[in-house]
């Protein structure tokens, strides 16, 4: 799949919740949608602490079958959990988060296969445990959804 990297500046001030000291991911995604063109998907990557109203924090968010996804590296760094930062581990977590949210953007729901990238991850350790690949069933569904 062809990809391109663009840098966009969006004023995120209105999406900051001072009570939570976090940013509302649903509101930020709304700003990303117009930046996607046609059948394109766009993934916003930030280092801000994100939330959605029903969860204390999230690693990422996407519209199911939509054009936009958002990922945050804020809670993916090992130092947040009292460990030494490892750029390789951080990159793997970021990659898995991007692939997971892109899966949602292409219409995939959470999977129950333990190693599948589409397994839901509440904790960073769960991201570490899963693969960066789609299981056979999710690959098959993805092919059908992309047609």
Q: Which residues are catalytic?
A: 101
Shortest CA distance to 117 belongs to which of 141, 102, 142, 134?
Answer: 134
What are residue 17's phi and psi, to 5 degrees? -105, 110
Element containing residue 94 per DSSP (H, E): helix 87-105
Is 42 strand, coil or helix? strand
Burial class (CB in 10 A: 0-12, 13-18, 19+), 3: exposed
Contact 145, 107 (CB under 8 A): yes
């Amino acid at each position: 799949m062809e990809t391109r990297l663009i840098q966009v500046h969006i004023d995120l001030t209105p999406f900051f919740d001072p009570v939570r000291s976090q940013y509302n991911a649903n509101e930020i995604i709304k700003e990303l949608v117009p930046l996607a063109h046609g059948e394109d998907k766009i993934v916003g990557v930030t280092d801000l602490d994100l939330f959605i109203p029903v969860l204390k924090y999230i690693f990422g968010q996407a519209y199911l079958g939509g054009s936009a996804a958002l990922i945050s590296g804020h809670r993916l760094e090992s130092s947040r959990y009292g460990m030494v930062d490892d750029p390789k581990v951080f990159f793997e977590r970021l990659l898995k988060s991007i692939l997971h949210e892109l899966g949602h953007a292409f219409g995939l729901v959470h999977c129950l296969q333990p190693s599948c990238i589409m397994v839901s991850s509440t904790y960073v350790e769960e991201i570490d445990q899963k693969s960066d690949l789609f299981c056979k069933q999710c690959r098959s569904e993805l092919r059908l959804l992309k047609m």
